[in-house]
Structure 1
């Protein structure tokens, strides 16, 4: 498996992790009020922070192993944010349903 393929799949897993963290935060730490935009912006900041941390981690590990260093930033960006929003919604629904039950 190539370097960029590994980065792609790691970004998918990190998107899942970011969604899980956002759901935990929104349900247990700071309960979400439906319709409040700060809920989304807080989650977005968590997602961007995790993405940037992954970029610097991948940059330090794989900088010399890719032909274009900009590929480290752009590889997997779409799957990261799509998996983040899908799994944030998924985990939020599960956590919120357990509270209501």
Structure 2
């Protein structure tokens, strides 16, 4: 696994999907920072269909699970795969944040 560390993130994402996270969105991208107050991560993700980049704000709280990294160790430029669900207002909330190490 040391040779291909990204494989663990792919398996983690697949596992989450198999566990009934069909209603959740998987967002892959780079952390661009936090919103003021630190309650949301700003993630830039590339849309392969439209070949455009979009920056999304994904809220995090104490119930958000972190895999491969501690919340305090996340920094700008880190690559992550986020399992997020949309609330009734349309905002994204992170259920899990998985670090991707290249």
Normalised-by-shorter TM-score class? under 0.3
Instruction: State TM-score, norm by structure 2.
Output: 0.26
The structure showing larger relative contact order (alpha-carbon pairs under 8 Å, at least 6 residues apart) is 1
Instruction: State TM-score, norm by structure 1.
Output: 0.26
User: If you compute each CA radius of gyration, which structure gives the higher value, 1 or 2?
Assistant: 1
